[in-house]
Amino acid sequence: MSQERRYSFEFFPTKTDAGHEKLLATARQLAGYNPDFFSCTYGAGGSTRDRTVNTVLQLESEVKIPAAPHLSCVGDSKADLRGLLQQYQAAGIKRIVALRGDLPSGMGMASGELRHANDLVSFIREETGSHFHIEVAAYPEMHPQARNFEDDLRNFVRKANAGADSAITQYFFNADSYFYFVERVQKMGVNIPIVPGIMPITNYSKLARFSDACGAEIPRWIRKQLEAYGDDSASIQAFGEQVISEMCERLLQGGAPGLHFYTLNQADPSLAIWNNLKLPR
């Protein structure tokens, strides 16, 4: 689509047929905006593997937008991963989001033959050469399980050096954290595109739970304003749309190579931001 920037949307596989139909309807609506790709998440320990595979194959074959499955190494053997890679290659999938993955509840340490995301990136390269464009995760505000920020920066550099083509960040609400992260890793010799992950604000209580779990900081001024709206969902959405649109505008003006929207399987919140920014179609 765009030569200079790329725009993408992320979905999560659903547990019900009705939810799956809604996901596909959302994808078809977003397809009208000609995104560069759709990504699809992969539950803790590969718990949604089959649903992820099915969703990705449908997005690719029916919705006609390139699909990028998440692939994590927690809980999976090399043989499992090899089988998935072969299945995706056969289906014409060209992009993979390579992650260590979340640990399932009760799993104290990572299991599986590969322990870290950089190991997974290396494995994909060894198995498939340059077939896949490999995305990795970036954490501008530090991975919640990292020992410290410097250690997390080194982890990211290892992933990039293992063969990643580009990165997608965890969502954030402070553009400075993104710019600082990019500046730091560039000084460490990493120059792959790092695309900001964007989370629309539509529900404060859900956002607060998500953010506490994944280490995304909600700035005090945003938190306090959202709290002040109480159950006024219209005001929360209007305020959220304005805040995120302004942040995205600053990110793009500052040189961000695109945007990756965490849709939560809804089209309208992301499209409101897209239209405010007058992004290409």
Q: What is the pLDDT of residues 78-98, one digit of tens each?
A: 998 999 999 999 999 999 999
- Residue 179 within any structural domain of the chain: yes
Considering the domain boundaries, does residue 1 fall inside one? no
Residue 210 lies in a domain: yes
Looking at residue 73, what is its pLDDT? 84
Q: What pLDDT is stored for residue 47 in this prediction?
A: 52
Q: Position of tokens 């991975």?
A: 143
* Beta bridge partners of residue 7, listed in sequence order: 259
Give the residue numbers marked as catalytic: 10
Q: What is the CATH number of the domain that holds 110?
A: 3.20.20.220
Beta carbons within 10 angstroms of residue 202's beta carbon:
17
* Domain presence at residue 55: yes
Q: 210-245 pLDDT, tens per residue? A: 999 888 999 999 999 999 999 999 999 999 999 999
In this predicted structure, what is the pLDDT of residue 43? 66
E strands of the chain, at which residues? 6-11, 37-40, 67-72, 95-99, 133-138, 166-171, 194-198, 258-262
Tell me the per-residue pLDDT of 143-167, one tens digit each, with 9 for 90 and over.
988 999 999 999 999 999 999 999 9
Dist. CA 231–CA 241, nearest whole Å: 17
Query: Bigger pLDDT: 215 or 128?
Result: 128
Q: Is residue 53 part of a domain?
A: yes
Mean residue pLDDT across the chain:
92
**Among 13-17, 104-108, 249-253, where is mean pLDDT lowest?**
104-108
- How many domains are there within the chain? 1
Q: How far is residue 30 from each of residues 34, 39, 206, 252, 281, measured CA to CA in Å?
A: 7, 12, 23, 20, 10
State how far the Cα of 198 lies from the Cα of 40, in Å rounded to an integer.
Answer: 15
| For residue 112, pLDDT beyond 70 | no
Residue 177 in domain: yes
Rounded distance between C-alpha atoms, residue 213 and residue 224, angstroms: 19
Domain boundaries, position 22: 6-277
Judge whether 202 lies within some domain: yes
pLDDT band at 1; cut points 50, 70, 90: very low
pLDDT at 2: 41
